[in-house]
Amino acid sequence: MPEWVAAAQVGEIADGESKLVVVNDSDVAVYNLGGEYFAIEDLCTHDGGEISTGWVDGDRAVCPRHFAEFSIRTGEALKAPAYEGVHSFPVRVREGTVEVGDDRDD
Ligand code: FES
């Protein structure tokens, strides 16, 4: 079972926007895509850029440093210069709070 961490209130993150939260010492970007929430690690696998400081293109997050693209839904790397995906965290909504689950092993 993941450990669930409160990340935002429903309505706090506008559609197509993100919020940076810290989950057990890791930066995590929580995105709202049309009322669905997703969370990916906010650390570009190309060269450590903060993906959440870039922009959203459909369901892709674009790293502002060299324009790699990641799937907001799965964390998959979709465009060079990133070839390795970022961790995608489970998200749930409980009583108006968006929660991120830390399902990593350690
Ligand atoms: S650090 Fe993200 S594309 Fe280079």
CATH of the domain at 77: 2.102.10.10
Question: Hey, how many other C-beta atoms are within 10 angstroms of the C-beta on 106?
Answer: 3
pLDDT value of residue 57? 97
What domain count does the chain have? Answer: 1
* CA-only gyration radius of the chain, Å: 13
Q: Give nearest CA residue, ligand 1 atom 3.
A: 66
Q: What's the whole-model pTM score? A: 0.95
DSSP string of 9-20, one letter each residue: ETTSSPTT-EEE
- Residue 25 Cα to ligand 1 middle (Å): 21
Domain of 58?
Answer: 3-102
Mean predicted lDDT score pLDDT of the chain: 96
Tens digit of each residue's pLDDT (9 = 90 or more) over 34-80: 999 999 999 999 999 999 999 999 999 999 999 999 999 999 999 99
pLDDT band at 106 (very low <50, low <70, confident <90, very high): low
Ligand 1 within 6 A of CB of 47: yes
